[in-house]
Every structure is written in C-alpha cells, then in structure tokens.
Amino acid sequence: MTIAETVLIIGSGGREHALARAIAMDPQVVAVHVAPGNPGTAQCATNHAVDPLDGAAVALLALQLSADLVVIGPEAPLVAGVADAVRQAGVACFGPSAAAARLEGSKAFAKEVMAAAGVATAASRVCDSPEQVAEALDAFGAPYVVKDDGLAAGKGVVVTDDRAEAVTHAVACGRVVIEEYLDGPEVSVFAITDGHSVRIMQPVQDFKRVGDGDTGPNTGGMGAYTPLPWAPSDLSEFVLNRIVRGTVEEMEARQMPFRGLLYVGLALTSKGVKVVEFNARFGDPETQALLAQLRSPLGQLLYAAATKRLVDFGPLAWADGSAVATVIAARGYPDRPELGMPIELPPDTATAHVLQAGTTLDDAGVLRSSGGRVLSVVGTGDSLKEARQASYDHVARIVFPAGFHRSDIAERAAQGGATPKES
Ligand code: AMP
Ligand code: GLY
C-alpha cells in the first residue's frame, strides 16, 4: 500500500476528534475508525470499544478492520508500548515505541537526551531524597519548579514562590526533576517525524492555567490559537534546526527512532529559546486549532511518517488566516469536575465547529459531560480577531450550564498587544 485508505485512531478526547475529522477530509481516506472514541467521533468515524492500553487488543482490532494505519493519540498507550504491539502485528503505526515515548514518560530521560543533543533547556537536577530536594531548591532559588519524573496528565508540575509548597510536592511525587525557572511566553511547535526526516508545523500557543489572566492551577490546556502574529517568523525553522533535528538524530543513534509527533514545548526567555518539555504526541487543545488550518492530507502525511517515507512528502500546506480553540470544561475542573450534566450543541457553521472530549450519550440519547475538559470550540477567520470572534460566538450558542470557559483565549495576541508570559 502506498496510500492509507483505512485509518484507526486510538483515544477518546478532543484531540482524537480533531484527528478523526481532519483524516476524514483526506480525499484518499475511505474509512476512519476510532477506539474507543466519543459521541463526537461517531459523527465522522466509526467507534469501537477497546482498552487503549491493551496493545494486543488494539493490534487485533487493527487487523480485523484491515487498517492501513493506526494513529495513537494519547501518551499513556505510547508509554505502555501499544505502538510496538501494532507494528509487531505488521500494521503501520503513527506513534513512537515505548522506548522513544520516554521523551515524554520520563522528564529525567528527556533532559539526558537534550544534553546529548546540545538542546537548550532549563538547568535541572534529578532528586530522589529530601536532602537532594532541599539542595536543588536552594541552588536554583525561587520561583521553584518541581516536576514529577513520570506521567501526570499536566498536573505533575508545581511552579511556586513558596518553598514549603515545593517541598510538599516533591515529597508527594517521590522522584522529581527540579529546575531553573524560565521566564518569557510559552509556545508549542510540533514536528512530524519518521525517525529520520522531519516536517515542522506552524507555532501554536496553549493556555495552561484554569482561569482568565493565567490564574489558578495548571490544567491540560484551556484553549489554543495559531499562528502567532507576535512570534519571530522563523521560529519553526529555528526549532527544526536547533532542537528537533538534533533530538531525532540522537534518538536514532540510540536505536530508538522516534516515529510520530514530537511536541516541543518552549519558553521564549530573555536568554533565548529553551525547551520546557517534550511530549510524544499531538497536544490537546493545540491540535484542535492547528488541524483547522492544515491543508496537507493528514491521513497520507501520518502514513508517510509511519512507513518511513516522509522524505517523499512535500512541505506542509497551511490555510491563510487563523484558528482559535476555546475549551469548555466541567465546573470544578481540574480538581473535581462535575460529571453527567446535560449539553445541547448547535450545528457547526462555516467558521465554527465543536470537537467533543469528555462527553457521553445517555440511554435517552441526551449528550452529557463525562470528563474534565468537555468540548473544544474551534473558530476560524481571516484574522486572529475574526477567528476568536467565531469561536466565542459559537461558545455562546452552546447550552451547558454546568460548564465554564476562559474568556481571554488569544485576546492579547488578537489585540496585537504584548505577549502573555504564561499561556
Ligand atoms: P510541563 O509539564 O513540563 O510542560 O510543565 C507544565 C507547565 O509548568 C509549563 O507549561 C509551564 O507553564 C510550567 N513550567 C514548567 N517548567 C517550567 C520552568 N522551568 N520554568 C517556568 N515554568 C515552567
Ligand atoms: N496542551 C498541553 C498538552 O497537550 O500537553
């Protein structure tokens, strides 16, 4: 097969709905399947029940569906080796091996690879004991940055001026990485790679804190927009040449080629561009905004990466204009989201569509919330201002009294103002 006609996507969030929608628009794709999926993915694909962490079950489903390509959305199946199981079954897979997914699964491993590849990142120390924690906190000073070494769904990082809070988090985590605080705005740049060749995507910005004005606790992400009118125009090229190529080569040299999406989380600091984190998969909700703008056929792009033929795939094509994704979360998120609350969605329009994440259909056919982040509402337009307006106008048409959203996604960038520090 040189084209992917049947694609199976693993996962059930807003990112997977965005992937399914975009892959279904690829003219060469005939069938899109999602497992387990959600009521939103059921509108553009066929859902199948599967435990996404069970590699054997995912591989069997791929064979039963005669899938040409499996795309693994979330990090947990990647870290659990589901991509390895799919490839062992002889099916092309977009998503790194368990060994390569440690770039996300272990902050200490990511730091080691960055050091070997000469990638600029925050200075850091791996700490296993309270004594090491105390020493590292004193060495770097406030604000303190303490990260759980393992996967923590966006909640493993504490950034605080309060030393006692930093110590408490470190003790609760066990093994932690403590690092230098990075100032400056945060940006995400995604790279698609087959382990050797790379296609870099346009920059996108996520809003990680739960509240307007970047207040409150960290979340998985409350909204995103792309492109970034205020960022240097060569930012993606810079990230490709200074960060991604070296990292991909280092992984290849370690015989753990990274085949999938390398998510580069950056801080544009006063001392230059530095990596905040690597992830081993598409970001959520950045993907919801990015894929609204991507014009290259996504099924074939991911298939070329999965089959080590990315070198034959042309440069990525993007729509002019902008996209803004606003997340609607369940009241109480991120601590204790209220679940099971009814939702009514308006039909999509030419400039706005809803992607579902934490949703379920009850026996009566009523759509209800079933997770912390419930919906992402994507607006597009010729300018960031129009895209933002399209997203928020559509948010206003959604009936979900138990939900909330940030009202300032892309606001400062749309006004052409200074860049926000955090988001
Ligand atoms: P991470 O899971 O490593 O992306 O961290 C989550 C969030 O914590 C990031 O998006 C930043 O907002 C913040 N953060 C992480 N590392 C640093 C750092 N070294 N300096 C400042 N903020 C950080
Ligand atoms: N939006 C941040 C992430 O996907 O990790």
Domain ranges of the chain: 123-179, 184-293, 322-414
Q: Is 186 in the pocket of ligand 2 (CB under 6 A)?
A: no
Burial (Cβ within 10 Å: 0-12, 13-18, ≥19) of residue 347 = exposed
Pocket test for ligand 1, best of 146, 276, 423 (most atoms within 8 A of CB): 276
Ligand 1, atom 8: nearest CA belongs to which residue? 157
Q: Is 265 in the pocket of ligand 2 (CB under 6 A)?
A: no
Residues 6+ apart with CB under 8 A from 163: 137, 142, 144
Q: Do 281 and 9 contact (CB within 8 A), yes or no? A: no
Residue 155, SS3? coil
Question: CA 131 to CA 134: how far, in whole Å?
Answer: 5
Q: Which DSSP letter does residue 399 get?
A: B
Strands 352-356 and 373-381 turn out to be: antiparallel
Nearest atom, ligand 1, residue 156 CA: 2
Structure tokens, 192: 């698609």
Question: CA 288 to CA 61: how far, in whole Å?
Answer: 26
Task: Please tell me the distance between residue 364's alpha carbon and the centre of ligand 2 in angstroms.
Answer: 33
Q: Which residue has the tokens 């996962």?
A: 11
A 10 A CB-CB count for 116 gives 15
pTM confidence score? 0.95
Q: Do 221 and 208 contact (CB within 8 A), yes or no? A: yes
Ligand 1, atom 15: nearest CA belongs to which residue? 276
Task: Please tell me the distance between residue 295's alpha carbon and the centre of ligand 2 in angstroms.
Answer: 22
Architecture of domain 184-293: 2-Layer Sandwich (3.30)
Q: How far is CA 338 from CA 37, 40, 335, 341, 342, in A?
A: 21, 20, 10, 7, 11
What ligand has the least distance to the C-alpha of 205? 2
Question: CA 53 to CA 410: how far, in whole Å?
Answer: 35
What is the pLDDT, as a whole number, of residue 150? Answer: 76
Tell me the residue type at 94.
F
Q: Do 245 and 198 contact (CB within 8 A), yes or no? A: yes
Question: CA 298 to CA 374: how far, in whole Å?
Answer: 24
Nearest atom, ligand 2, residue 154 CA: 5
Q: Is 68 in the pocket of ligand 2 (CB under 6 A)?
A: no
Ligand 2, atom 3: nearest CA belongs to which residue? 283
Q: Is 277 in the pocket of ligand 2 (CB under 6 A)?
A: no
Task: Please tell me the distance between residue 278's alpha carbon and the centre of ligand 1 in angstroms.
Answer: 11
What is the pLDDT, as a whole number, of residue 422? Answer: 46
Architecture of domain 123-179: 2-Layer Sandwich (3.30)
Q: Which of 326, 324, 299, 304 is nearest to 314 (CA)?
A: 304
What is the pLDDT, as a whole number, of residue 107? Answer: 87
Task: Please tell me the distance between residue 283's alpha carbon and the centre of ligand 2 in angstroms.
Answer: 4
Instruction: Give the binding-site residues of ligand 1, using a 6 Å CB cut-off.
Output: 122, 145, 147, 157, 159, 179-182, 186, 208, 218, 265, 276-277, 422
Task: Please tell me the distance between residue 125's alpha carbon and the centre of ligand 1 in angstroms.
Answer: 15
Question: CA 10 to CA 58: how far, in whole Å?
Answer: 8
- The reply to whether CATH 3.90.600.10 applies to domain 322-414 is yes
Tell me the residue type at 373.
R
Q: Is 188 in the pocket of ligand 2 (CB under 6 A)?
A: no
Q: Is 283 in the pocket of ligand 2 (CB under 6 A)?
A: yes
Nearest atom, ligand 1, residue 124 CA: 19
Nearest atom, ligand 1, residue 182 CA: 20
What ligand has the least distance to the C-alpha of 187? 1
What ligand has the least distance to the C-alpha of 151? 1
Nearest atom, ligand 2, residue 286 CA: 1
Ligand 2, atom 4: nearest CA belongs to which residue? 283
What ligand has the least distance to the C-alpha of 190? 2
Question: CA 247 to CA 297: how far, in whole Å?
Answer: 26
Mean pLDDT (10-residue bins), the chain, 423 residues = 93 98 98 98 98 98 98 97 98 98 93 97 92 91 90 76 92 90 95 98 96 92 97 97 98 98 96 95 98 98 98 96 98 96 98 98 97 98 98 98 98 79 47
What is the pLDDT, as a whole number, of residue 355? Answer: 98
Question: CA 145 to CA 208: how far, in whole Å?
Answer: 15
Nearest atom, ligand 2, residue 221 CA: 1
